[in-house]
């Protein structure tokens, strides 16, 4: 929450120094950053290093001139020149009450302090085929997408989370035919599961369920109508199961977008029509000249048999994100889809959308381990295949936290044994324990002053904790703008670590009344911050464990 005012102060100091010394170079691009080593202060600016070259001066010399003209608010204790010419700044105690009071008043608003967002974002993730239970391969994307959505919303964006339901293609047709075949089997008639059909146990379950509910004249209907009836019924069943799974997992979608209804109302034709000028006919097919927009080769929109490719309705779907009023589309895709990004971006550009407003986050694969052994995800081996089975095994809190510990663009090893372990080895418990521990202290504390004298918080552990709390708004801003929800787990762990260290060296209860009140408020503010981070992660924040 201080980097913004610091940047302004430094810029103004530079301008005053320039006016006095006759520098003609404008304010250079420079960074306000947090040094790794606390000995170097709380913030550092490299403006002198950046300005030295255009000014033909030594960096330290520039720094000295700037320092002369620097005017800082009372939140800062002062500034000094260090190393090759960094300006280092140290916070004063004056900011303590501002941070603690703000956190206690409204932790959400506090975390959003530095965010200046306000875009309309459509965030699409998971979008798994509706032909089976949600598979564990979607679990990571579900966790990342849901938390990213919460984070972007907290940052001030108008976010719609969306699940694209591929309910139109051959896949659901096959599901319906598979169910029908199983139904024949249940009735004791000879049958054959279609070659590309679905074989999971759930298909048998569905067949049984359908048979129990099927309308009386079902047998008399023509084949095509029967398939349609089963298809519609099966899609509703899968939707219910999907919603139950997602709810257990704490994942919320604002909208489920049906490919079928989009196609039925001519959405694909409309978007393809608007691509005119970028398309051509060749070999009986309709092609989109994506190479005009950076793709490797042109892509077919409509096959020579007159059917659209998968690409065409998908262009229409993405186009609809813009026509529905969103200015930015963010997709989470598996690494097997990365070849697809360039052509979709090309299509968006051809439609007149800013290609930069279409963002794709590739969520890399997860490898499941058990005590370090790689797990095959085969049903036959009795291993975990669905998200439900994963949640049965390790629970929502551990699953979400572990998925969000790593950057989404690196492959992840997920150790099932570790996830189940309720010990300090499991980072989710480490963070939750800090939250519960504070709850326990507050239960025992009784009444205490709401606005005590925070200048009593002088221990190194208290100061470290306060600095971390004060820096949260900047961290949140960066996590949101970089689309890196995994930073939240690190922040939560660091806060928990700072609190545990504080707790071990600073008695909160049973010390002098004013000191106790100051420490209690700090603990309570920390709890609010950890609670808010856990909420963003979709992990529960227990009062007791």
61, 93, 113, 129: residue in contact with RNA (rule CB under 7 A):
129
- Distance CA(255)–CA(250), nearest Å, equals 15
Which of 16-24, 26-34, 60-68, 529-537 is the region at the interface with RNA (rule: CB under 7 A)?
Answer: 26-34
Q: Is the CB of 105 or the CB of 196 nearer to RNA?
A: 196
Q: Is the CB of 213 or the CB of 423 nearer to RNA?
A: 423
26, 54, 78, 84: residue in contact with RNA (rule CB under 7 A):
84
Pair 81, 63: CB distance under 8 Å: yes
Q: Is the CB of 172 or the CB of 251 nearer to RNA?
A: 172
Which of 247-255, 379-387, 501-509, 529-537 is the region at the interface with RNA (rule: CB under 7 A)?
Answer: 501-509
Asked if 339 touches RNA (CB under 7 A), the answer is yes
Asked if 394 touches RNA (CB under 7 A), the answer is no
| Site mask for RNA (CB under 7 A), range 348-377, x = bound | --------------x-xx------------
What does DSSP say about strands 255-258 and 299-302: parallel, antiparallel, or unpaired? unpaired
- Region of 457 (left: φ > 0; alpha: ψ -120 to 50; beta: rest) is beta
Q: Is the CB of 467 or the CB of 487 nearer to RNA?
A: 487
Q: How many CA atoms lie less than 13 Å away from 8 in the CB half-sphere?
A: 6
- Distance CA(23)–CA(235), nearest Å, equals 70
85: tokens are 């010419």
- Distance CA(390)–CA(399), nearest Å, equals 8
Q: Is the CB of 160 or the CB of 268 nearer to RNA?
A: 268
Asked if 40 touches RNA (CB under 7 A), the answer is yes
Asked if 57 touches RNA (CB under 7 A), the answer is no
Asked if 413 touches RNA (CB under 7 A), the answer is yes
117, 193, 441, 515: residue in contact with RNA (rule CB under 7 A):
441
Q: Is the CB of 39 or the CB of 189 nearer to RNA?
A: 39
| Site mask for RNA (CB under 7 A), range 260-289, x = bound | ----------------------xxxx----
Residue 384's contacts (CB-CB under 8 Å, 6 or more residues apart) are 136, 368, 375, 377, 390, 393, 416
277, 371, 504, 512: residue in contact with RNA (rule CB under 7 A):
504
Closest CA to 360 of 385, 390, 337, 388: 337
26, 310, 420, 458: residue in contact with RNA (rule CB under 7 A):
310
22, 24, 36, 446: residue in contact with RNA (rule CB under 7 A):
36
Q: Please state, as a whole number, how many other Cβ atoms lie within 10 Å of the Cβ of residue 450.
A: 11
- Distance CA(259)–CA(271), nearest Å, equals 14
- Distance CA(169)–CA(312), nearest Å, equals 12
Q: Is the CB of 10 or the CB of 159 nearer to RNA?
A: 10
- Distance CA(207)–CA(64), nearest Å, equals 80
Closest CA to 174 of 137, 200, 208: 200
Which of 115-123, 182-190, 244-252, 309-317 is the region at the interface with RNA (rule: CB under 7 A)?
Answer: 309-317
Which of 202-210, 232-240, 316-324, 333-341 is the region at the interface with RNA (rule: CB under 7 A)?
Answer: 333-341
What residues from 456 to 495 belong to the interface with RNA (CB under 7 A)? 478, 482, 484, 486-487, 490, 493
Kindly state the smallest distance separating residue 174's Cβ from RNA, in Å. Answer: 10
Residue 252's contacts (CB-CB under 8 Å, 6 or more residues apart) are 146, 149, 161, 246
Asked if 411 touches RNA (CB under 7 A), the answer is yes
Q: Is the CB of 41 or the CB of 250 nearer to RNA?
A: 41
Residues in contact with RNA, counted by CB under 7 A, come to a total of 94
Which whole-number Å values give the CA distances from 230 to 166, 244, 503, in the listed order? 16, 21, 61
59: tokens are 């960096």
Pair 436, 500: CB distance under 8 Å: no
324: tokens are 């529905």
What residues from 181 to 200 belong to the interface with RNA (CB under 7 A)? none
- Distance CA(347)–CA(291), nearest Å, equals 10
296, 354, 373, 392: residue in contact with RNA (rule CB under 7 A):
296
Pair 525, 454: CB distance under 8 Å: no
Asked if 56 touches RNA (CB under 7 A), the answer is no
What residues from 165 to 184 belong to the interface with RNA (CB under 7 A)? 166, 169-171
């Amino acid at each position: 929450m201080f980097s913004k005012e610091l940047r302004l102060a430094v810029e103004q100091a530079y301008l005053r120094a320039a006016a006095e010394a006759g520098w003609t170079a404008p304010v250079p691009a420079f960074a306000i950053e947090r040094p790794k080593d606390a000995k170097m202060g709380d913030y550092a600016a490299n403006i002198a290093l950046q300005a030295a070259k255009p000014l033909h001066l030594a960096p330290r010399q520039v720094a000295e001139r700037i320092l002369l003209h620097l005017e800082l608010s009372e939140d800062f204790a002062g500034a000094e020149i260090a190393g090759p010419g960094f300006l280092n700044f140290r916070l004063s105690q004056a900011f303590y009450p501002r941070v603690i009071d703000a956190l206690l008043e409204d932790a959400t608003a506090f975390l959003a302090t530095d965010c200046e967002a306000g875009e309309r974002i459509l965030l699409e993730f998971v979008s798994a085929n509706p032909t089976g239970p949600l598979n564990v391969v979607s679990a990571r994307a579900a966790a990342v997408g849901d938390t990213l959505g919460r984070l972007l919303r907290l940052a001030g964006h108008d976010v719609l989370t969306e699940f694209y339901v591929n309910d139109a293609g051959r896949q659901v047709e096959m599901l319906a035919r598979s169910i029908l075949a199983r139904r024949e089997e249940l009735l004791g008639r000879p049958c054959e599961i279609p070659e590309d059909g679905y074989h999971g146990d759930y298909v048998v379950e569905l067949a049984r369920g359908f048979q129990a509910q099927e309308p009386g004249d079902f047998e008399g209907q023509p084949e095509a109508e029967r398939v349609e009836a089963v298809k519609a019924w099966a899609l509703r069943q899968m939707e219910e199961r999907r919603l139950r799974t997602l709810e257990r997992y704490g994942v919320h979608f604002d909208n489920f977008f049906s490919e079928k209804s989009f196609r039925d109302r001519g959405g694909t034709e409309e978007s393809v029509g608007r691509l005119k000028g970028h398309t051509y006919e060749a070999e009986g097919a309709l092609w989109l000249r994506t190479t005009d927009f950076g793709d490797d080769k042109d892509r077919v929109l409509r096959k020579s048999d007159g059917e659209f490719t998968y690409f065409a309705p998908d262009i229409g779907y993405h186009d609809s994100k813009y026509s529905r009023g969103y200015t930015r589309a963010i997709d989470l895709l598996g690494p097997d889809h990365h070849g697809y990004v360039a052509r979709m971006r090309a299509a968006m550009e051809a439609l007149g959308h800013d290609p930069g407003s279409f963002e794709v986050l590739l969520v890399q694969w997860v490898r499941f381990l058990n005590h370090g052994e790689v797990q095959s995800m085969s049903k036959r081996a009795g291993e975990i295949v669905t998200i439900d089975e994963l949640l049965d095994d390790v629970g929502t809190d551990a699953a979400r936290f572990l998925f969000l510990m790593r950057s989404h663009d690196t492959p992840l090893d997920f150790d099932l044994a570790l996830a189940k372990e309720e010990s300090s080895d499991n980072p989710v418990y480490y963070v939750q324990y800090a939250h519960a521990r504070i709850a326990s202290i507050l239960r025992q504390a009784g009444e205490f002053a709401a606005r005590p004298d925070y200048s009593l918080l002088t221990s190194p552990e208290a100061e470290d904790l306060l600095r971390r709390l004060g820096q949260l708004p900047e961290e949140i801003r960066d996590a949101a703008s970089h689309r890196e929800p995994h930073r939240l787990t690190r922040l939560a762990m660091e806060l928990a670590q700072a609190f545990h260290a504080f707790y071990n060296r600073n008695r909160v209860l049973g010390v002098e009344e004013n000191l106790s009140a100051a420490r209690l408020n700090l603990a309570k503010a920390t709890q609010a911050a950890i609670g808010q981070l856990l909420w963003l992660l979709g992990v529960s924040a227990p009062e007791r464990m």
